[in-house]
């Protein structure tokens, strides 16, 4: 049976260009789809009076699957992309035939973390994002020994994001629910990938997701931090292809 298409959702606060280093080797074996999420990259932020909620972004993903006439995909994401993957799983589990959860976690934000996200959103709206957001986030996004070109790429990606989209995403993440219950019902092949030096969503958070998943498999990538598709593209590619190609 042919492998399902693979749809990967990017991290915050970047866009689908973060998959550039894994795109070619994955596309050689799988149909790969990497959209920009609402308000980030080249994807517009819909005009709405609704409070930011990843459930709306999840409906964007389902609408994309409908447009592409895909009944089911292996769905995955890094960091916020993982949160959105779990939101899609909550909204439309029948569309998910496999999971790839990369440097993410199933738990909701603490009150302090949610407050920090709202502060980021407020500052992005009042000041834009250039000049401070990358500086504040890079130490947590990458391992200390990350290559200078990787750090430069991430900085450029962050600086190029629309402030309104950054604000929307930050506020949506702040109110996301705990999703361990959703993972426990996801009886599909699942792969959890985490960087050994990831301080934002550390290996113990990855282990908690594997423990909840009926068919979960864990890959810990040594020596890298939170953005493993940029820091160790070969490790991420190999893990995905072993599981799903």
Band (36; pLDDT cuts 50, 70, 90): very high
Angle between helices 20-27 and 233-244 (to 10 degrees): 30
Residue 130 tokens read as 């250039």
pLDDT digit string, tens, across residues 106-134? 999 999 999 999 999 999 999 999 989 99
pLDDT at 227: 98
For the chain, the domains span 6-244
Residue 243 tokens read as 């599981």
pLDDT at 141: 97
Share of the chain above pLDDT 70, in %: 100
pLDDT digit string, tens, across residues 194-208? 999 999 999 999 999
| Structural domain 6-244, CATH architecture | 3-Layer(aba) Sandwich (3.40)
pLDDT digit string, tens, across residues 90-111? 999 999 999 999 999 999 999 9
Task: For tokens 């973390």, name the residue.
Answer: 113
Q: For 79-210, where are the E strands, in sequence order?
A: 96-102, 190-195
Residue 182 tokens read as 């959703």
Band (217; pLDDT cuts 50, 70, 90): very high
pLDDT at 2: 72
Q: Mean pLDDT in the chain? A: 97
pLDDT at 63: 98
Report the distance separating Cα 106 and Cα 96, nearest Å: 17
pLDDT at 1: 59
Nearest Cα to 171, choosing from 244, 83, 65, 71? 83
The pLDDT of residue 238 is above 90: yes
pLDDT digit string, tens, across residues 56-103? 999 999 999 999 999 999 999 999 999 999 999 999 999 999 999 999
Residue 162 tokens read as 């629309």
Residue 120 tokens read as 């980021």
């Amino acid at each position: 049976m042919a492998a399902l298409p693979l749809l990967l959702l990017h991290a915050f606060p970047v866009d689908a260009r973060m998959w550039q280093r894994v795109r070619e080797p994955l596309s050689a074996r799988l149909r790969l789809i990497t959209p920009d999420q609402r308000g980030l990259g080249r994807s517009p932020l819909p005009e709405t009076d609704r409070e930011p909620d990843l459930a709306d972004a999840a409906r964007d993903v389902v609408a994309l699957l409908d447009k592409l006439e895909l009944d089911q995909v292996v769905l995955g994401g890094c960091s916020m992309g993982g949160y959105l993957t779990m939101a899609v799983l909550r909204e439309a589990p029948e569309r998910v035939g496999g999971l790839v959860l990369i440097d993410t976690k199933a738990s909701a934000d603490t009150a302090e973390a949610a407050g920090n996200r709202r502060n980021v959103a407020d500052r992005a709206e009042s000041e834009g994002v250039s000049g401070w957001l990358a500086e504040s986030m890079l130490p947590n996004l990458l391992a200390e020994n990350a290559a200078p070109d990787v750090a430069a790429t991430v900085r450029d990606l962050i600086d190029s994001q629309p402030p309104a989209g950054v604000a929307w995403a930050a506020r949506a993440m702040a109110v996301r629910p705990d999703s361990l219950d959703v993972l426990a019902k996801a009886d599909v092949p699942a792969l959890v990938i985490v960087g050994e030096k990831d301080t934002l969503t550390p290996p113990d958070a990855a282990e908690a997701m594997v423990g909840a998943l009926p068919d979960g498999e864990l890959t810990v990538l040594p020596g890298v931090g939170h953005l493993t598709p940029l820091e160790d593209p070969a490790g991420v590619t190999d893990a995905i292809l072993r599981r799903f190609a």
